[in-house]
Amino acid sequence: MAVRHQGYETPTRGDSLAEQVYRQLSNALLSGAFAPRERINIRRLAEEIGVSVTPVRESVLRLIADGVLQTNEKNAIFVPELAEAEIQEIFAIRRFLEGDLAEAAARHLTAEDTEFLATTQNEFLAAMAQEDYREVLRCNSLFHFRIYERADLPVHLRIVESLWLRIGPTLHHMYPILQRDRTGHQSHENIIDQVRKRDPQALRAAIVTDLDFSEGALRQYLEQVVQQPRRRPVSKVR
């Protein structure tokens, strides 16, 4: 998937090749195209995407800096596995930051947003019924960030995005293994209700409850798959 060839124009940072590659990798991570422990190869990614290694390297290094990817003592780049302790940290921070975001967003959310959330939630459920977990994750992400974007808190938002990226790879491999009924909880519906009412505190609480569910599920999953020997998956971007 070639994006653009060398130097037709000098793009502004927002649509530089590096930025495009970063978004592509982010989406791939969020939808589970990379598995925990999987090794990342800069040259291979560059070839798949159709750019030189420079913008890919940029993006990968940024992900490493954010803890989304990791390097070992021999400089090999790979997708880290989530440790129990990290989950605890990440969710503690998410409860606070996403709580703040939801609370701040409450004032600015419109009927259009409610509409969008309801539609997205239907798509979420449909995808879940079809066991299309890639789509499930995409809908879940769209749902939450639609709210968070309305908060106008860019510092919060950026941090939360990076925390989502950390969880993405594990999350994707979680769904097929967990029992279905766990996913039937009503927390998104509850969130939509509170968005309708525009009650900041209640919306915050609804988000936090949803996060509690997620954390519980993630924990349950990790207990279930305690250190399974893992084959090396080779995955394409996208």
Contact positions toward a copy of itself, by CB under 8 A? 10, 12-13, 18, 58, 61-62, 64-67, 71, 73-75, 86, 89-90, 92-93, 96-97, 100, 153-156, 158-159, 163
| 23 binds DNA, rule: CB under 7 A | no
| 41 binds DNA, rule: CB under 7 A | yes
Helices 154-174 and 200-224, interaxial angle, to 10°?
Answer: 30
Report how far Cα 85 is from the mean position of its chain's Cα atoms.
19
Task: Determine the straight-line distance between the first and last CA of the chain, rounded to whole angstroms.
Answer: 10
Nearer to DNA, 180 or 238 (CB): 238
Q: Exposed, middle or buried, 32 (CB in 10 Å: 0-12/13-18/19+)?
A: buried
| 129 binds DNA, rule: CB under 7 A | no
| 224 binds DNA, rule: CB under 7 A | no
In the list 77, 87, 207, 208, the residue contacting DNA (rule: CB under 7 A) is: 77
Contacts of 209 (CB under 8 A, 6+ apart): 187, 190
CA–CA separation, 222 and 91 (whole Å): 15
Q: How far is the CB of 27 from DNA (least distance, A)?
A: 18
In the list 58, 81, 100, 149, the residue contacting DNA (rule: CB under 7 A) is: 58
Chain positions contacting DNA, by CB under 7 A:
5-11, 13, 16-18, 39-44, 51-55, 57-58, 61, 71, 74-77, 234-235
